[in-house]
Amino acid sequence: MTLQTVADRVGVSRMTVSNAFSRPDQLSPELRQRILAAADDLGYVGPDPTARSLARGTTGAVGIVLTESLEVAFTDAVATSFLAAIAGELAPTGLALTLLTSSAGSDLVPARDVAMDGALVYMCDRTSPAVDFLLRRKLPIVFVDQQPVDGITSVNVDDRGGARAAARHLVSLGHRRIGLVMSGVLGPVGQIDDPAVLAAVDGYPSAQRTLGWFDVLDPAGIKPIIVRTRDGEGNDVRQQARLLLDRDDRPTGVLCFSDAIALGVLQTATELGLSVPRDLSVVGFDDSSLAGRVRPALTTVRQDVAEKGRTAAAALTVAIGQPRSGVVGEARHVILPTELIVRDSTAPAGGT
């Protein structure tokens, strides 16, 4: 059973049948449905994927390289929204999305061995082997939430500006004892004067948010109390939050790297008998789907995760198409805006 068999049954060309499977946007919905119905009736399941990729010189798939664990793609609200937006943007192109991890725990190294036409690199260590393999393969790449690099299109949000707005909000409410709950290398509770030291050990979004906080705290003469979480969620967040809050000089306001961390801080505050926002003001970052549903509703910095996903996927689609069209485009560095969303988890210091 071949493409020609189906073409003869429907009365169209072999190329039209091929387009019904691989380029559905080239046909009307009615014609494509007729072709697929005829193929189903004849028992034809479609062109051989390997032969098709050889003939077209493409695989029909793009990869997205995540952090060390693929679990984040299914458990983190921000990551799932981001992936949904990418999938929606890619759907009309016929490109499939392949999830890849940046770790190499077996003989199979996805970034090296998996067939793909291009890749998105999302919140990964720039020095990881996965990123190195992608660059050496000379695949079209778009960085997302990564340090911008010359020659590679990147999509980021205004992390520093958003963090600056969050810190300014707490300072304007009279808070002078402020805590930071950061995501990155674990360290003891303490005060660090030099934000560059903190930023140097973190990934790009964390570093930018750290610098944004200190843009406001430094001129105000505030030396924050700092804790770090290993993975930004679960028991580790609550343990670090307890170190921050269960002390005589506990902060009256807390700035968190993410909403997931902020929710852990809220839970820990409740366990310690603290009232939010009377005893403690908490600010997150992301404006995830849970931020407005928890009680008290979370003050946070909104980033448009869906727009970030759509922009990244569109940029990668363009980059993949450029070699075939003979057009060489310049890499773009896109920065999407952020916005402070004030809800019920913040109030003036002292409960006044």
Domain at 159-303+340-351: CATH code: 3.40.50.2300
CB contact at 8 A, 100 and 110: yes
Helices vs. strands in the chain: H and E counts, helices first: 14, 12
Tell me the CA distances in angstroms from 76 to 216, 234, 288, 289, 312, one per residue in order.
Answer: 29, 11, 9, 10, 19
Give the residue carrying structure tokens 């990155």. Answer: 184
Query: In the numeric block, which tokens belong to residue 38?
Result: 């005829």
The pLDDT, as a whole number, for residue 345 is 98
Higher-pLDDT residue of 249, 53 = 249
Domain range list for the chain: 3-47, 61-157+305-337, 159-303+340-351
Q: Candidates 3.40.50.1220, 3.40.50.11260, 1.10.260.40, 3.40.47.10; correct CATH number of 3-47?
A: 1.10.260.40
Higher-pLDDT residue of 45, 186 = 45
Give the residue carrying structure tokens 């505030």. Answer: 222
Q: pLDDT tier at 274 (50, 70, 90 boundaries)? A: very high
The pLDDT, as a whole number, for residue 74 is 78
Compute the average pLDDT of residues 12-31.
87
Compute the average pLDDT of residues 327-331.
77
Compute the average pLDDT of residues 263-267.
95
The pLDDT, as a whole number, for residue 279 is 97
Residue 113 CB: number of other CB atoms within 10 A? Answer: 9
Q: Which of 6-15, 44-53, 224-233 has the highest mean pLDDT?
A: 6-15
pLDDT tops 90 at residue 197: no
pLDDT tops 90 at residue 280: yes
Please count the residues of the chain.
352
pLDDT tens for residues 55-72?
555 678 899 988 656 777
Q: pLDDT tier at 153 (50, 70, 90 boundaries)? A: very high
The pLDDT, as a whole number, for residue 106 is 46
Tell me the CA distances in angstroms from 117 to 17, 34, 53, 323, one per residue in order.
Answer: 23, 30, 10, 11
pLDDT tops 80 at residue 325: no
The pLDDT, as a whole number, for residue 252 is 97
The pLDDT, as a whole number, for residue 191 is 47
Q: Which of 96-100, 118-122, 162-166, 324-328 has the highest mean pLDDT?
A: 162-166
Q: pLDDT tier at 46 (50, 70, 90 boundaries)? A: confident
Higher-pLDDT residue of 171, 197 = 171
The pLDDT, as a whole number, for residue 297 is 98
Higher-pLDDT residue of 126, 156 = 156
Higher-pLDDT residue of 137, 213 = 213
Top-tier CATH class for 61-157+305-337:
alpha beta
Give the E-state strand segments of the chain in sequence order: 61-65, 96-100, 118-122, 141-144, 153-157, 178-183, 225-229, 253-256, 281-283, 300-303, 333-336, 338-341
CA dist., res. 80 & res. 91, Å (int): 16
- Would 3-47 and 159-303+340-351 be classified into the same CATH topology? no
CA dist., res. 352 & res. 337, Å (int): 32
